[in-house]
């Protein structure tokens, strides 16, 4: 049991620090002590397994969860979940939540004075197929003001939460929209040093998934931590990947 391959550590610069002064809420919540590096054991290379019963078609279409249709621009958000070794991550849970078209969340703490939409809750979940694909139908979320600094506005975004195959592969992120003029000013988007890594959070407009006369398509592929190669794989393939 001493040869369990762990998952890869994040590539330097591609993840946010815990303390990012531009994001004011991090100032009193980020740990100040250095994190203790933990070798991966059975506890980290395993993780919650959700059976097929958790899939729910209604949860993949955020526009059909009420008696009427929500206001706003219908969109299709889809993509693939892969690991760092370019292998699909099948049958994994993807959760999403978002503001409505006016930029308001259905949440008691959201004090923005934009209207709620009785036909929009703003949450869903999907399970990836055998090729790691997921797909949601929703409406494009609105931008909204927040109290981080003077005249602060969040770019339009959809929150994503993924489990992957292990405790070590957990990911929570946000998807943005191409061409959003607020992105360069957003301290949350900009918390990560690596520009390419940041820009991978911006979805791509996608003709292939756009439905004529119905909804624009946006593609958002998600990469989860991949397995480290094992010594056995090194021999088998003649190179360490």
Partner 1 sequence: MSLHATTWQTVGPFFKIGFSWLYRDNLAGSGVSGERVEISGRILDGDGKPVPDGIIEIWQANSNGKYAHPDDAQEKPIEEGFTGYGRVATDDEGRFHFTTIKPGRVPGPGGKPQAPHLAISVFTRGLLRRLVTRVYFPDEPGNAEDFALNLVEPARRGTLIAKKIEGEPGKLEWNVKMQGGGETVFFDV
Site for partner 1 in 41-70 (CB under 8 A): 41-49
Tokens of 108: 């008691």
Q: Which is nearer to partner 1, 170 or 210 (CB)?
A: 170
Candidates 66-74, 134-142, 210-218, 222-230; binding stretch for partner 1 (CB under 8 A): 222-230
Taking the alpha carbons of 53, 54, 60, 64 in that order, is the dihedral positive or negative? positive
- Residue 78 as a binder of partner 1 (CB under 8 A): the answer is no
- Residue 10 as a binder of partner 1 (CB under 8 A): the answer is yes
Smallest gap from Cβ 157 to partner 1, in A, equals: 8
Residue selected from 70, 72, 103, 122 as contacting partner 1 according to rule CB under 8 A: 122
Smallest gap from Cβ 213 to partner 1, in A, equals: 30
Residue selected from 2, 67, 113, 151 as contacting partner 1 according to rule CB under 8 A: 2
User: Residue 170 contacts by C-beta under 8 Å, 6 or more apart in sequence?
Assistant: 47, 162, 163, 164
- Return the ∠ at Cα 124 (arms to 181 and 23), rounded to 5°: 40
The rounded distance, in Å, linking the Cα atoms of 56 and 39 is 36
- Residue 101 as a binder of partner 1 (CB under 8 A): the answer is no
Question: Residue 129 to residues 89, 91, 93, 125, 145: CA-CA distances in angstroms?
Answer: 8, 6, 10, 13, 36
Residue selected from 57, 67, 86, 179 as contacting partner 1 according to rule CB under 8 A: 86
| Residue 32 φ then ψ, to 5° | -100, -20
Task: Give per-residue burial for 90-111: e unless 16+ CB within 10 Å, then b.
Answer: ebbbbebbbbbbbbbbbeeeee
Q: Which of 171, 198, 203, 172 has the alpha carbon at shortest distance from 186?
A: 198
Q: Which is nearer to partner 1, 106 or 182 (CB)?
A: 106
Smallest gap from Cβ 214 to partner 1, in A, equals: 25
Binding to partner 1 by CB under 8 A, coded x per residue (else -) over 13-42, reads: -xxxxx-x--x-xxxxxxxxx-xxxxxxxx
Catalytic residues: 105, 144, 154, 157, 159
- Residue 140 as a binder of partner 1 (CB under 8 A): the answer is no
């Amino acid at each position: 049991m001493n040869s369990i391959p762990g998952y890869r550590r994040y590539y330097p610069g591609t993840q946010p620090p815990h303390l990012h002064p531009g994001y004011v809420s991090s100032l009193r919540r980020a740990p100040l002590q250095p994190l203790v590096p933990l070798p991966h054991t059975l506890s980290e290379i395993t993780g919650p397994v959700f059976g097929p019963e958790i899939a729910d078609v209604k949860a993949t279409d955020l526009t059909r969860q009420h008696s009427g249709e929500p206001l706003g621009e219908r969109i299709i958000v889809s993509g693939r979940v892969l690991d760092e070794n370019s292998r699909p991550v099948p049958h994994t849970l993807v959760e999403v939540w978002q503001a409505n078209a006016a930029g308001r969340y259905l949440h008691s703490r959201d004090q923005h004075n934009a209207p709620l939409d009785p036909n929009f809750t703003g949450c869903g979940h999907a399970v990836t197929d055998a090729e790691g694909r997921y797909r949601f139908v929703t409406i494009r979320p609105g931008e909204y003001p927040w109290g981080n600094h003077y005249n602060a506005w969040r770019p339009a975004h959809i929150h994503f939460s993924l489990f992957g195959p292990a405790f070590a592969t957990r990911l929570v992120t946000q998807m943005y929209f191409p061409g959003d003029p607020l992105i360069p000013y957003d301290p949350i988007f900009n918390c990560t040093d690596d520009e390419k890594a940041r820009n991978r959070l911006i979805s791509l407009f996608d003709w292939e998934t756009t439905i004529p006369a119905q909804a624009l398509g946006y593609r958002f592929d998600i990469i989860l931590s991949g397995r480290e190669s094992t010594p056995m794989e090194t021999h088998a393939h003649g190179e360490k990947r």
